[in-house]
Structure 1
Amino acid sequence: MPGPPRQVVIVGFPDAELLDVACVSDALDAANRIGARPPYTIRLATVDGHPFRCQSGLTLTPHLRLDQVRGELDTVIVAGGGGHTAAARDERLLEHLRRLSRTSRRTASVCTGSTLLAAAGLLSGRRATTHWAYASRFAEKYPAVTVDPVPLFIRHGDVYTSAGVTSGLDLTLAFVEEDHGPAMAREVARALVTYLQRPGNQAQVSMFLSGPPPEHGQVRDLAAYVSEHLADDLGTPVLARHAGISTRQLTRLFDAHLGTTPGKYVRTVRAEHAARLLSGTDLPLTAIARHCGFGSTETLRQAFLDHFDTPPSAYRRVHLRQAYS
Structure 2
Amino acid sequence: MAITAFDGVQLLDVTGPAEVFGTANMFGARYDVRTVSPGGADVRTSSGVRIGVDGASESLPARLGTVVVPGRRDWRQAVADVDVVECVTEVVRRSDRVTSVCAGAFLLAHIGVLDGRRAATHWRLADELAAAYPLVSVEADPVFVRDGHVTTSAGITAGIDLALSLVEDDYGPDLARDVARELVVFMARPAGQSQFSVRLIPREARHPGLRRAMDTVVADPAAPHSLDTLARDVGVSPRHLTRLFRSETGMTPGQYLESARLESARAILEAGDEPVEAVAGRSGFGSAETMRRAFHHTLGVTPTTYRARFRSTRPAISSPNATGS
TM-score (norm 2): 0.70
1:284 is aligned to: none
Map residues 77-96 of structure 1 onto 2, 5 A cutoff.
Answer: 77-96=68-87
For normalisation by structure 1, the TM-score amounts to 0.70
Deviations 1:114-159 (A, max 9, x none): 1111111111111111122222222122122111222111111000
- Distance change in 2, residues 1:261/1:246 (3 Å): farther
Residue 218 (structure 1) shift? 7.2
Q: Secondary structure at the match of 2:217?
A: helix
Which residue is 2:39 aligned to? 48
> What is the CA–CA distance in structure 2 between the aligned matches of 1:208 and 1:52, rounded to whole Å?
30
2:10 is aligned to: 17
Instruction: For residue 250 of structure 1, report the CA deviation from its aligned partner.
Output: 6.8
**Paired residues, what number?**
283
Q: Is the 8 A contact 2:116 2:135 kept in 1?
A: yes
Calculate percent identity across the aligned residue pairs.
Answer: 34
Tell me the CA shift for residue 81 of structure 1.
1.1
Unaligned segments of structure 1, at least 5 residues: 1-7, 278-287
User: Residue in 2 aligned with 1:32?
Assistant: 25
**Structure 1 210/172 Cα, relative in aligned 2: closer, same or farther at 3 Å?**
farther
User: Is residue 290 of structure 2 the alignment partner of residue 293 of structure 1?
Assistant: yes
Deviant stretches of 4+, over 6 Å: 215-218, 238-241, 252-259, 269-274
**1:80-159 alignment, distance < 5 Å:** 80-159=71-150
Q: Unaligned stretches of 5+ in structure 2?
A: 205-210, 270-284, 310-325
- The secondary structure found in structure 1 opposite 2:186 is coil
The answer to whether the 8 Å contact 1:111/1:162 transfers is: yes
Name the aligned partner's letter for residue 217 of structure 2: L
Aligned to 1:206: 195
Partner Cα distance (1:219, 1:83) in 2: 32
Measure, in 2, the Cα distance between the counterparts of 1:269 and 1:28: 42
The higher radius of gyration belongs to 2
Contact 2:217 2:260 in 1 (8 A): no
| Contact 1:219–1:254, Cα closer than 8 Å, also in 2 | no
1:219–1:268 CA distance, 2 compared to 1 (3 A): closer
Residues 237 and 247 in structure 1, CA contact (< 8 A), matched pair in contact too: no
* 2:201/2:260 contact within 8 Å kept: no
What's the CA shift for 1:162? 0.9
Q: RMSD between aligned alpha carbons?
A: 4.2
Q: How does 1:308-319 map to 2 (within 5 A)?
A: none
Aligned partner of 1:180 in structure 2 is 171
